[in-house]
Amino acid sequence: MAAEPVNVNEFEELARLALPKMYYDYYRGGAEDQRTLKENMEAFQRITIRPRVLIDVSRIDLSTTVLGYKISAPIMIAPTAMHKLAHPEGEVATARAAAAHNTIMVLSYMSTCTIEEVASSCNAVRFFQIYMYKRRDITANLVQRAERCGYKAIVLTVDTPRLGRREADIKNKMIAPQLKNFEASYQLKFHLCHRKHAIFIQYVELLQDDGSNLEAFAKDTFDASLSWKDIGWLRSITNLPVLIKGVVTHEDAIKAIEVGVDGIVVSNHGARQLDYAPATISVLEEVVDAVKGKVPVLFDGGIRRGTDVFKALALGAQAVLIGRPAVYGLAAKGEYGVKTVIEMLKNELELTMALSGCPALKDISRNHVRTQHERRHSML
């Protein structure tokens, strides 16, 4: 009998053993050489913690608020696709786990459970993630359904004018299930196959059963012409706050504030889009500095330990989002696995705060961490 995991990293191996290779590779993989995928985690290792001592840490408060909604800890569930590939209960199990910990789940538009199924599964605050489609009626329909079902914010992913090259999926001839959120008006099927060393994606509409390759798929669905002016259109069709996910530079952070977004998620799409993009923890501070506290800045990418959460908070994030760890927990042990992953990170964060002299999140400051650049500078 295998020993129970004692940290989040150990869930990845359990997920590998539980999943077909095709699905494990899909969840784990990044773009091209996967340099950014490695760097997302390795960059945390180059940041050290500067603990303070002789501070009363007999009580530790992890609670915070995001867009005015109180959560038990600054750890949210990132939008990740197709949870039923990991477990039969899919996103419903993930949603229940997030609700049990009183935190926010961001449901992916590529969910294998519908917006409505997840909304009715448990009472909790949750956000909904979308892409901007060339057919704006698709985007509008999804946004309006989410709003009717009580989702509290829209998270627009902005780093995907085209899909990144994920070579493991090409080799495995990845086949994904239908996307439940489109069944009412569309029949969507994705078939990734290796043909002339390219990815082809088959997009099948209910009344127009003709497949298309990647170029046509991107042209017909994701809007490659998406620009800053389109944020205004999205804001015009909903009363919900709009956050954008995929910002990694101070220039784009400033533009985001100018067009009136309600929040920013610093993210490189889990290293699945542009390889050799920077690790998100390495650019978090420049985005925070550009925003100047005008909107919340959330962080996504590479979180595996409570110390990682602490470092992101010290560099200015209001909360972090976890993607792969939640999916690994789901694959290994279903809803219980996701709950355990969140609990492990919360417990590690609490211990880190106690050992660093921070009884509450507000006590975590920039002075509590030192980056590699600062260490080099101090040695000169």
Whether 269 sits among the annotated catalytic residues: the reply is yes
Q: Is 16 annotated as a binding residue?
A: no
* All residues at 6 or more sequence positions from 233 whose CB lies less than 8 Å from its CB, including other chains: 136
Q: Is 269 annotated as a binding residue?
A: yes
Q: Is 302 annotated as a binding residue?
A: yes
Q: Is 166 annotated as a binding residue?
A: yes
- Residue of 83, 87, 101, 269 marked active site: 269
The token duo for 301 is: 């990418």
Q: Is 377 annotated as a binding residue?
A: no
Q: Is 260 annotated as a binding residue?
A: no
The token duo for 53 is: 């001592």
Q: Is 304 annotated as a binding residue?
A: yes
Q: Is 194 annotated as a binding residue?
A: no
Q: What is the DSSP letter of 198?
A: E
Q: From CA 247, how far away is CA 272, in angstroms rounded? A: 14
Q: Is 300 annotated as a binding residue?
A: yes
Q: From CA 304, how far away is CA 9, in angstroms rounded? A: 6
Which bin fits 253, alpha (ψ -120 to 50), beta or left (φ > 0)?
A: alpha
Q: Where are the beta strands (DSSP E) in the chain?
A: 48-49, 64-66, 69-71, 75-77, 105-107, 126-130, 154-157, 175-176, 190-191, 193-195, 198-200, 242-247, 263-266, 297-300, 319-322, 369-370
Q: Is 303 annotated as a binding residue?
A: yes
Residues at the binding site are 26, 79-81, 108, 129, 131, 157, 166, 245, 267, 269, 272, 300-304, 323-324
Residues at the binding site for FMN are 79-81, 108, 129, 157, 245, 267, 300-304, 323-324
The catalytic site residues sit at: 269
